[in-house]
């Protein structure tokens, strides 16, 4: 049996508790508080202790989908990306870049957020980018 | 937050207003308990009788949306008694005389009439806050989600500056942020008017800097906020929407209206972990990775940027979020070619002075708090130590205004919304978690014993709740956590979508909707 503990950050509230993700034979198995982390010093709330459950849930959707005539169809990544790029480009051409809005995420990493606003501003050409800080 | 969480343990006084800390930020509540054990005073002001109130030295339940009046009342008493910090005001601030003039009006008697908090309590709160230096003020969405959200925040800052509590350890003005990376999303320029590090898109120097770095002329006019995008979808200006990891159909106010405008879009792209209410309306769905499946950094409520490490490969065919964006952008004709998140981080820090001194190696496990401008800079535990970023701290003379919607004959109850301890936001992550689901399986609305008695409602009985915008049915929870005339419901539960009722009226500056106050009526459902 291969057992690893990987340090990470709890994805729930803004405290950002340090956690250890328990991985057994490549599968996410549990969450422990990180004792030395300055934010939580070995403590976690009920959400943090159970954070692995949202990752391994059977409710996860693990492939891209495209809707056709009201129904979703599983597609390969290349097709999902190509269809999206084509639709967005057509709309930008007809109505201008400010006809597109982008909502980035307070749950994603800094790196993803940086890329999403760069994508909005440089690839689409609009400053219509916001997220749910107000909600 | 101006200060750091651990510092609260050494505060002389902790004043919590508009934060249900034990339920929504339990680890910070732990710091407050430690402070209490070390002798700190605790003041809790909240319309509901929240759990933290049981540990407080003074508890007041002010009427929903009356925060400016309450804070002005406290400041009136402080100034009248000469408890304010003259030296701090003289050396570090400006605009005090304008504030003083407005405060003149807010006598305890007048404030009692607006807030429902007794004169004696207002005086005791003022004395306790001013008399136990350093005092830390903590708030959350109870302060900000109002049509007067900006006024409320300004009043919190006024109070802290008045007593010399800004720029000191264990003091400060501390908004407790509700999402793991909401601070980071703002810092990274996930806002319509600023690039990373709050550099304005309309500022010519900043715009040129980013245009050069990214090899493309960038738009200079600020874009639309989420609130304005919804309006734009309604009037046809917005034709396409890309939603990355959010579920506005359950989290936005007046969600019936949002349902309607989402259908008008020509194209909706949603990236998420699950088939959320919003994703169900999408034309294309991207399967993103969870926190355990990708490397990257997160910035918490005390401005601490920390590394999350990939523990497992993305499940199924899910891809890391950064990888998906790179593919989409490249397909649109703007190439993004990064080999790993660290490369993205290094580009970001080279353009963002407050993150300028950070590298993955330096972040280590504990992370670093911005501003961290240089490779040898240790990071910044508390802000404004010697100077405010604008030079002097500015007092804002703020007058009290009523919420947008007040109860009347037709809609006699106040409704407020929020989170509960075992669930999170729209419940997408917590309701699929067996241990969290077992704590609370359905939505509910808190009703006071008096109101429940008057309407002959039983605990657990379904009741109809109506506002001017919509109606839902939801089980009753009879509890003294709310007083007569006040109702509370969490917004985690899709079966009881309370945001069908909430008021989309928003603060004119921050564009934040008034989730915390609206008027509703209750109807018993005939058997």
Phi and psi at residue B297, to the nearest 5°:
-115, 155
- A-chain CB neighbours of B274 within 8 Å are 57, 59-61
What is the average per-residue pLDDT within B156-166? Answer: 97
User: Of chain A residues 102-121, which have a CB less than 8 A from chain B?
Assistant: 102-121
User: Of chain B residues 228-247, which have a CB less than 8 A from chain A?
Assistant: 229, 232-233, 237-246
Model ipTM value: 0.97
What is the average per-residue pLDDT within A10-37? Answer: 97
Domains, chain B, in order of start with CATH, read 5-176 (3.40.228.10), 182-369 (3.40.50.740), 413-524 (2.40.40.20)
Angle between helices B226-235 and B255-262 (to 10 degrees): 50
Instruction: Say whether pLDDT at B419 is over 90.
Output: yes
With CB atoms and an 8 Å threshold, state whether A66 touches B284: yes
State both tokens at A99. Answer: 């006809």
With CB atoms and an 8 Å threshold, state whether B181 touches A132: no
User: Of chain A residues 18-37, which have a CB less than 8 A from chain B?
Assistant: 18, 21, 23, 26-28, 34, 36-37
Nearest to B296 among A55, A103, A112 (CB): A112
Q: Where in chain A is the domain with CATH 2.20.25.90?
A: 3-56
Nearest to B344 among A8, A91, A115 (CB): A115
What CA–CA distance (Å, rounded) separates A130 from B190? 5
Q: Would you call A101 an interface residue with chain B, using a CB distance cutoff of 8 Å?
A: yes
Instruction: Say whether pLDDT at B526 is over 90.
Output: no
What is the average per-residue pLDDT within B488-505? Answer: 94
Phi and psi at residue B208, to the nearest 5°:
-65, -40
Cα distance from N-terminal residue to C-terminal residue, chain A: 44
Percent of chain B having pLDDT more than 70? 100
Q: Would you call B202 an interface residue with chain A, using a CB distance cutoff of 8 Å?
A: no
Q: Would you call B505 an interface residue with chain A, using a CB distance cutoff of 8 Å?
A: no
- CATH topology for the A3-56 domain: N-terminal domain of TfIIb (2.20.25)
B20 class by beta-carbon count within 10 Å (0-12 exposed, 13-18 middle, 19+ buried): buried
What CA–CA distance (Å, rounded) separates A84 from B138? 43
What CA–CA distance (Å, rounded) separates B114 from B401? 10
What is the average per-residue pLDDT within B73-89? Answer: 97
Return the SS3 of B24: helix
> In this structure, how many other beta carbons lie within 10 angstroms of the beta carbon of residue B397?
16
B387 confidence band (pLDDT: 50, 70, 90): confident
Phi and psi at residue A48, to the nearest 5°:
-60, -45
Give the model confidence (pLDDT) of B36-72 as tens digits: 999 999 999 999 999 999 999 999 999 999 999 999 9
What CA–CA distance (Å, rounded) separates A126 from A99? 8
Question: Can you point out the beta strands (E) in B99-197?
Answer: 135-139, 173-175, 194-195
B252 confidence band (pLDDT: 50, 70, 90): confident
Contacts of residue B118, defined as CB under 8 A and 6 or more positions apart, other chains included, come to B112
What is the average per-residue pLDDT within B271-288? Answer: 96
- A-chain CB neighbours of B272 within 8 Å are 61
Give the model confidence (pLDDT) of B451-472 as tens digits: 999 999 999 999 999 999 999 9
Instruction: Say whether pLDDT at B253 is over 90.
Output: no
Give the model confidence (pLDDT) of A12-25 as tens digits: 999 999 999 999 99
With CB atoms and an 8 Å threshold, state whether B179 touches A111: no
With CB atoms and an 8 Å threshold, state whether A46 touches B422: yes
- B-chain CB neighbours of A103 within 8 Å are 226, 229, 241-244, 246, 248
Partner residues linked to B45 by β-bridges: B17, B60
- Look up tokens 């950094």; give the residue: B297
Give the model confidence (pLDDT) of B351-367 as tens digits: 999 999 999 999 999 99
Q: Would you call A91 an interface residue with chain B, using a CB distance cutoff of 8 Å?
A: yes
Per-residue three-class SS string for B75-127: HHHHHHCCCCCHHHHHHHEECHHHHHHHHCCCCHHHHHHHHCCCHHHHHHHHH
- A-chain CB neighbours of B177 within 8 Å are 13-14
Phi and psi at residue B169, to the nearest 5°:
-65, 140
- B-chain CB neighbours of A34 within 8 Å are 365
* String of DSSP letters for B463-512: EEEE-SS-EEEEEEEE-TTS-TTEEEEES--TTS-GGGTSEEEE-TTT--
Q: In terms of Cα–Cα distance, which of B182, B148, B137 is closest to B8?
A: B137
Q: Which pLDDT value is given to residue B452?
A: 97
With CB atoms and an 8 Å threshold, state whether B190 touches A95: no
Instruction: Say whether pLDDT at B123 is over 80.
Output: yes
- A-chain CB neighbours of B367 within 8 Å are 38
Q: Name the H helices within chain A.
A: 46-49, 52-56, 77-95, 110-118
| Contact between B174 and B139 (Cβ < 8 Å) | yes
Q: Which pLDDT value is given to residue B162?
A: 97
Phi and psi at residue B39, to the nearest 5°:
105, 5
The overall average pLDDT reported for chain A is 96
- B-chain CB neighbours of A13 within 8 Å are 24-25, 176-180, 301, 424
What CA–CA distance (Å, rounded) separates B331 from B336? 9
What CA–CA distance (Å, rounded) separates B297 from B184? 9
Q: In terms of Cα–Cα distance, which of B91, B8, B54, B68 is closest to B398?
A: B68
Instruction: Say whether pLDDT at B146 is over 80.
Output: yes
Q: Would you call A81 an interface residue with chain B, using a CB distance cutoff of 8 Å?
A: yes
What CA–CA distance (Å, rounded) separates A91 from A93? 5
Percent of chain B having pLDDT more than 90? 94
- A-chain CB neighbours of B317 within 8 Å are 62-64, 77
Instruction: Say whether pLDDT at B527 is over 80.
Output: no
The side-by-side arrangement of strands in the sheet containing B240-244 is A71-74, A65-68, B284-287, B267-272, B240-244, A100-103, A129-130
Question: Do the strands B13-17 and B135-139 form a parallel or antiparallel pair, or are they unpaired?
Answer: parallel
A135 confidence band (pLDDT: 50, 70, 90): confident
């Amino acid at each position: 049996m291969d057992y690893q503990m990987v340090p990470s950050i709890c994805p729930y509230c803004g405290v950002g508790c340090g956690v250890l993700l328990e991985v057994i034979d490549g599968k996410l198995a549990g969450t422990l508080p990180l004792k030395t982390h300055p934010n939580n010093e070995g403590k976690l709330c009920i959400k943090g202790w159970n954070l692995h459950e949202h990752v391994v849930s059977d409710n996860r959707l693990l492939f891209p989908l495209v809707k056709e005539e009201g129904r979703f169809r599983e597609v390969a990544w290349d097709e999902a990306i190509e269809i999206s790029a084509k639709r967005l480009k057509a709309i930008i051409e007809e109505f201008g870049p400010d006809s597109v809005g982008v909502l980035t995420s307070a749950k994603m990493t800094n790196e993803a957020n940086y890329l999403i606003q760069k994508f909005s501003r440089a690839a689409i050409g609009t400053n219509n980018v916001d997220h749910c800080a107000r909600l | 937050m101006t200060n750091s969480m651990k510092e609260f343990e050494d505060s002389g006084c902790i004043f919590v207003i508009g934060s249900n800390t034990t339920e929504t930020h339990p680890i910070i509540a732990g710091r407050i308990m430690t402070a209490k054990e070390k002798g700190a005073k605790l003041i809790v002001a909240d319309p509901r009788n929240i759990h933290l109130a049981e540990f407080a030295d003074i508890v007041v339940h002010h009427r929903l949306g009356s925060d400016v009046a309450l804070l002005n009342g406290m400041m009136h008493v402080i100034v009248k008694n000469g408890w304010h910090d003259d030296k701090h005001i003289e050396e570090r601030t400006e605009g005090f005389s304008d504030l003083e003039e407005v405060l003149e009006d807010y006598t305890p008697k007048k404030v009692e009439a607006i807030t429902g908090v007794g004169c004696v309590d207002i005086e005791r709160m003022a004395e306790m806050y001013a008399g136990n230096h350093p005092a830390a003020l903590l708030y959350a969405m109870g302060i900000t989600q109002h049509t007067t959200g900006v006024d409320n925040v300004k009043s919190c800052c006024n109070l802290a500056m008045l007593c010399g509590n800004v720029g000191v350890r264990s003091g400060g003005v501390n908004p407790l942020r509700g999402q793991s990376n909401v601070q980071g999303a703002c810092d990274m320029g996930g806002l319509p008017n600023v690039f990373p590090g709050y550099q304005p898109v309309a500022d010519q120097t900043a715009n040129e800097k980013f245009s050069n770095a990214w090899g493309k002329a960038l738009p200079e006019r600020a874009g639309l906020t989420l609130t304005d995008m919804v309006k734009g979808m309604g009037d046809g200006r917005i034709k396409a929407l890309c939603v990355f990891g959010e579920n506005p159909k359950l989290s936005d106010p007046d969600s019936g209206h949002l349902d309607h405008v989402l259908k008008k879009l020509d194209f909706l792209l949603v990236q998420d972990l699950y088939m959320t209410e919003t994703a169900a309306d999408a034309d294309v769905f991207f399967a993103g990775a969870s926190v355990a499946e990708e490397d990257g950094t997160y910035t918490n409520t005390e401005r601490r940027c920390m590394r999350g490490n990939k523990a497992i490969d993305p499940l199924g065919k899910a891809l890391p979020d950064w990888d998906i964006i790179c593919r989409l952008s490249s397909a649109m004709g703007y190439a993004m070619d990064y080999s790993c998140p660290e490369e993205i981080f290094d580009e970001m820090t080279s353009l963002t002075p407050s993150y300028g001194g950070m590298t993955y190696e330096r972040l280590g496990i504990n992370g670093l708090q911005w501003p961290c401008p240089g490779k040898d800079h240790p990071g910044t535990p508390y802000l404004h130590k010697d100077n405010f970023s604008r030079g002097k701290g500015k007092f804002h003379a703020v007058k009290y205004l009523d919420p947008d919607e007040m109860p009347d004959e037709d809609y006699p109850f106040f409704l407020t919304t929020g989170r509960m301890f075992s669930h999170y936001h729209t419940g997408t992550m917590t309701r699929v978690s067996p241990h969290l689901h077992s704590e609370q399986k359905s939505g509910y609305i808190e009703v006071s014993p008096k109101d429940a008695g008057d309407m002959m409602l039983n605990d657990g009985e379904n009741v109809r709740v109506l506002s001017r915008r919509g109606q839902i049915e939801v089980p009753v929870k009879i509890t003294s956590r709310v007083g007569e005339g006040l109702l509370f419901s969490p917004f985690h539960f899709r079966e009881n979508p309370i945001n069908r009722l909430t008021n989309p009226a928003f603060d004119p500056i921050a564009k934040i909707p008034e989730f915390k106050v609206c008027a509703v009526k209750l109807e018993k459902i005939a058997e």
